[in-house]
Amino acid sequence: MNSHKTGWLLTAALLGAGSAGAQDLGAYRALAADLDGAVTARATSAAQALTRLDAADADLKKLAPSLQNRQLVSALQGSLERARGSLARSPAELEAQVLLARGFMRKALYDQTLTLLASAPANGTAQLRLLAGEFGLSGAATQALLADGAAGKLPRVAWRLQREAAGKIGEALNTAQPTQSSTTYLNLSRGMAWFTAVQDAPGAGDLKVSQFGDALRQLTVGDVGALESSLTALRQNNGAFVKSLASAPSGAVVTPSITPAVPVTVTPGSTTVTPPATPAATATPRPTAPARPARTSAGEVYAALGRALTAAGHGDPALAREQLGQAGTALAAAPTTLRSTQGYDALVFDLGAAQARTALRPDDVQALIATLSGLERRAAGQPVSTLDNVSAGAARGFGGWLRVLVFALLAALAFVPLYLLNLAFGGRNTYWRAIASGLALLLLPVFLEGLFGLLGAIGDLTGVGALRAASNFTLTQNGYGLPLWALSAALAIGLTTFGFRGLCQQFGLLGRRSAPQQETAAAQSLDWDEDL
């Protein structure tokens, strides 16, 4: 009976999806960055937060046509509307709405990616890679997820993602306390958002979206006793969920649930939750192999930033921005001690700004790594490097198109002294030619940065791969630029030394002359008139 039901579900999913399932990943990333940016901006300016929410609304309009579940589209639109309304209240309420919106986004990406993999595993790699970043996977875990997806092992793909979500739900619930505080409010919202993405998992058991809604309602009305009971029940049910995911499933074929997502409304003072529809039956087999419990730490942020640095160093800003998005997702799930440290919001803002920046360069990513290191040191009570703070400020203010245009202008101006030198003294004198060549070599790094930096920025803006990689020809992009710079500087020093020494000899400042002083002066004057 179960095998017949599994076959029927698979057939229904394939007929309903066909070759569909692909999402606008660019719009998805932009929406995620603008939502997270709104939360960061709200700490200092409600007007800036509103600007980011306006941008998020435009992003959603681009993303919506590629979302198959129209209920999810409506839920996302409702979350954005409630986020706007929360701007007049506390930052925590805005963050709660953003957390729920991010949960809806993950739900849409999760369902459509599994649907796409069921029909065309080879076409779902990009979505699966983004999904891995959204769920906080990195390194070997991401590679294992991609391998299972390419092989069509959907039970294992779903299991890996459900396991990560269950771990994050547990972290949020364990941090929540039965007190009427914004911290508990946000942790309940965070747990609810993560469960929204995987609410149809067979192992969820008694864990329901409505349970989170009840706890939020009790929190807003101040019913601490009922809240404590709800938190205990939520932890127990999530514990059972985690146990059901303790070992990997077999390779039996399973399809993603086609149950519509649950629209959730969280409003301060009157939290309402629409109860979930009964999830469609699935045939995910019982787990059989042991697996590592999911944990998230700053190490995952470092790993994503390291991959972003490598991509930026290879002249691939598109991949670098994708990895920065994964770093932002991992940072949002970092331990509470790190998220509550001063400077965390600034790092989140810098990550979002770098992700949206055109002409991303390795220096930008290095500054983010230094900022994260400083955040860890501050969380541990250790002194923070002033130089790292200065570097982060410089990267924040002098990057993107500003850097490109400044060096393009300097490269153009570099020809001015060379032209004037040739105009004033001509090119017949060997010593002046050597000096001009040495000066050109000294200005070579500026010229290369201006020309190829501009070409790389244009390529990044237009998506032309050949131009996008032009930044590799600058001397500041990679390690090989430093020895080339040293070589050009050595040649410049040699040529200018030769040129000025020759002029000094010509003017009698070095060496001895056999001719009388008067004749020597006349010869010098003649040389200057004729040769210079």
pLDDT range class, residue 280, cuts 50, 70, 90: very low
Mean pLDDT score, 176-182: 88
- Of the two residues 271 and 31, the one the predictor is more confident about is 31
Is residue 108 within 8 A of residue 74, CB to CB? The reply is no
Average pLDDT, the chain: 80
- Of the two residues 105 and 343, the one the predictor is more confident about is 105
pLDDT range class, residue 527, cuts 50, 70, 90: very low
Is residue 188 within 8 A of residue 220, CB to CB? The reply is no
Is residue 159 pLDDT above 70, yes or no?
yes
Is residue 248 within 8 A of residue 289, CB to CB? The reply is yes
Is residue 404 within 8 A of residue 457, CB to CB? The reply is yes
Exposure string over 238-256, b if 16+ CB within 10 A, otherwise e: beebbebbeebbeeeebbb
Q: Which of 336-340, 386-390, 496-500 has the lowest mean pLDDT?
A: 336-340
Residue 109 carries which side chain, given as an amino acid letter?
L
What is the pLDDT, as a whole number, of residue 389?
Answer: 82
Question: 151 in helix, strand or coil?
Answer: coil
Question: 258 in helix, strand or coil?
Answer: coil
Q: pLDDT of 352-364, one tens digit each?
A: 888 888 889 999 9
Instruction: Return d(Cα 233, Cα 215) in angstroms, integer.
Output: 10
- Of the two residues 407 and 85, the one the predictor is more confident about is 407
Mean pLDDT score, 157-164: 92
Q: Closest by alpha carbon to 19, among 115, 126, 111, 108?
A: 115
Residues in Cβ contact with 138 at an 8 Å cutoff, skipping those fewer than 6 apart = 132, 300, 303, 304, 326, 330
Mean pLDDT score, 117-145: 85
Exposure string over 293-314, b if 16+ CB within 10 A, otherwise e: ebebebebbbbbbbbbbebbbb
Q: Which residue(s) pair with 264 in the sheet?
A: 273
Is residue 499 within 8 A of residue 438, CB to CB? The reply is yes
Structure tokens at 201: 């998992």
Mean pLDDT score, 144-160: 89
Is residue 276 pLDDT above 90, yes or no?
no
Is residue 271 pLDDT above 80, yes or no?
no
| DSSP code string of 142-205 | HHHHHHHHHTT-HHHHHHHHHHHHHHHHHHHHHH--SSSSHHHHHHHHHHHHHHHHTTT-GGGT
What is the pLDDT, as a whole number, of residue 300?
Answer: 82
Mean pLDDT score, 427-440: 89
Q: Which of 107-121, 278-292, 403-417 has the lowest mean pLDDT?
A: 278-292
Structure tokens at 13: 């999913």
Residues in Cβ contact with 468 at an 8 Å cutoff, skipping those fewer than 6 apart = 315, 316, 317, 318, 456, 459, 460
pLDDT range class, residue 450, cuts 50, 70, 90: very high
What is the pLDDT, as a whole number, of residue 392?
Answer: 82
pLDDT range class, residue 259, cuts 50, 70, 90: very low
Give the residue carrying structure tokens 């953003």: 98
What is the pLDDT, as a whole number, of residue 488?
Answer: 94
Q: Is the dihedral of CA 98, 99, 104, 107 positive or negative?
A: positive
Instruction: Return d(Cα 214, Cα 201) in angstroms, integer.
Output: 21
Phi, psi of 176 (to 5 degrees): -65, 140
Percent of residues, the chain, with pLDDT higher than 70: 83
- Of the two residues 61 and 389, the one the predictor is more confident about is 61
Mean pLDDT score, 257-280: 38
What is the pLDDT, as a whole number, of residue 297?
Answer: 56
Is residue 268 within 8 A of residue 220, CB to CB? The reply is yes
- Of the two residues 78 and 265, the one the predictor is more confident about is 78
What is the pLDDT, as a whole number, of residue 101?
Answer: 93
What is the pLDDT, as a whole number, of residue 46?
Answer: 83
Instruction: Return d(Cα 43, Cα 339) in angstroms, integer.
Output: 14
Is residue 8 pLDDT above 50, yes or no?
no
pLDDT range class, residue 295, cuts 50, 70, 90: very low
Residue 387: C-alpha distances to residues 303, 360, 370, 382 (Å): 23, 21, 9, 15
Give the predicted TM-score (pTM) of the model. Answer: 0.52
What is the pLDDT, as a whole number, of residue 487?
Answer: 95
Percent of residues, the chain, with pLDDT higher than 90: 29
Instruction: Return d(Cα 351, Cα 364) in angstroms, integer.
Output: 10
pLDDT range class, residue 277, cuts 50, 70, 90: very low
Q: Closest by alpha carbon to 417, among 439, 401, 396, 402?
A: 439
pLDDT range class, residue 494, cuts 50, 70, 90: very high
Instruction: Return d(Cα 454, Cα 472) in angstroms, integer.
Output: 12
DSSP 290: E
Structure tokens at 450: 């201006």
Instruction: Return d(Cα 243, Cα 241) in angstroms, integer.
Output: 5
Instruction: Return d(Cα 476, Cα 165) in angstroms, integer.
Output: 41
Q: Which of 36-40, 167-171, 231-235, 408-412 has the lowest mean pLDDT?
A: 36-40
Residue 259 carries which side chain, given as an amino acid letter?
T
What is the pLDDT, as a whole number, of residue 122?
Answer: 74
Question: 262 in helix, strand or coil?
Answer: coil
